[in-house]
Amino acid sequence: MSTELLPLHLYFPASVSRDFYVSRTITIGKLTELSLYCKALIKEIGSAAPDFEDLTVPEVTISFGTPSLLRDSKDVPHVLAELKNAFHLAPDCRFTWLLDPELATTIHEGMHLSLPENGRVLLRMLSSSDDVLSALRYPHTFKDTVATAEELRKNGVTDLSVMLLTGAPADTAERFRASLKAAADLEATAVLLRAWNPEDKDLVRDLYETEKRLFLKKAVKPTDEVLQATRAIADDYLPSRGYHEVCPGLYQLDTAPASLAPNASVLGLGAGAFTRMDGNSYRNTEDLTRYEKYSARFEMIACDLVTEA
């Protein structure tokens, strides 16, 4: 087996709300739609794997969305089974699940997730301030994040990390420090900081075009000074709670078992997936109809991938 490594990133744009982070321009909100998507994803995995048969997969990151859809889906396990059969996964391959906070009103049924590998979870908390979340037009509150974390832990998830935004609208030094404290109080294994960028579709809610233009016109990209100031706050506070900086923007507990550090190369699979390889970036089509039609043909043209300089 080759010693060359290739991390994988699977995209499941599954969310009960179009407002959620993972939605971008596509949202799968029903189990029937998710089932069709999983079938297409299985075809893409089978088509792509032969091109990378000499590479070993050290880690798999899975961007999903709303936990309740993951809980109720009977098709996601089939996707992961195909992934394990098609690619050379390292014996110690780690699975990281990127999940949105579940709205508290839907948690009453319990998560009861059957996470393969009883995986590591990265929860998109973004902020502990509801004012900041509202400014981002994010549908959840901080209480939803806490409730989701509690349910995930009841389900056996012991390695739970959180993502926070820096330079977000309505954020202040005090609110950001409070978010860091809240993340530490949640006993997050790691805290990942990501700079808010109003031009980044992965961070901005996909509004209808008119609303989107109005929102972006008001949005101000944080300056380098603001980002440096927030990083300084994190550098000052997190070590006092037992965290150390693994790489820029990533802080882990001293007892953390493994790093969530980003990789230079990654193969993205799924609608809207990004691939970074040999210094180039590619993106899969976001059109679900087109994706389901061409997913069995892993070609740049068929998959509508675009190379960026």
Task: Tell me the average pLDDT across 79-95.
Answer: 89
How many whole angstroms separate alpha carbon 76 and alpha carbon 150? 23
pLDDT at 241: 95
pLDDT at 34: 81
Give the count of beta carbons closer than 10 Å to the beta carbon of residue 300.
12
How many whole angstroms separate alpha carbon 50 and alpha carbon 46? 8
Could you tell me the pLDDT band of residue 2, with boundaries at 50, 70 and 90? very low
Strands 280-283 and 88-99: unpaired
Name the pTM for this structure: 0.77
pLDDT at 115: 59
Percent of the chain residues topping a pLDDT of 90: 24
| Selected residue with higher pLDDT from 274 and 191 | 191
pLDDT at 219: 58
pLDDT at 210: 38
Give the count of beta carbons closer than 10 Å to the beta carbon of residue 191.
26
How many whole angstroms separate alpha carbon 211 and alpha carbon 282? 28
Min mean pLDDT across 59-73, 101-115, 231-245 is at: 101-115
pLDDT tens, residue by residue, 209-267: 334 444 444 556 788 888 899 999 999 999 999 999 988 888 998 765 555 556 668 88
Min mean pLDDT across 197-201, 261-265, 277-281, 302-306 is at: 302-306
Sign of CA dihedral 155, 160, 165, 166: positive
pLDDT at 205: 40
Residue ranges and CATH numbers for the domains of the chain are 8-294 (3.30.750.200)
Nearest Cα to 28, choosing from 79, 63, 80?
A: 63
How many whole angstroms separate alpha carbon 189 and alpha carbon 309? 35
How many whole angstroms separate alpha carbon 240 and alpha carbon 35? 46
Reported as type and span, the H/E element at residue 35 is helix 31-48
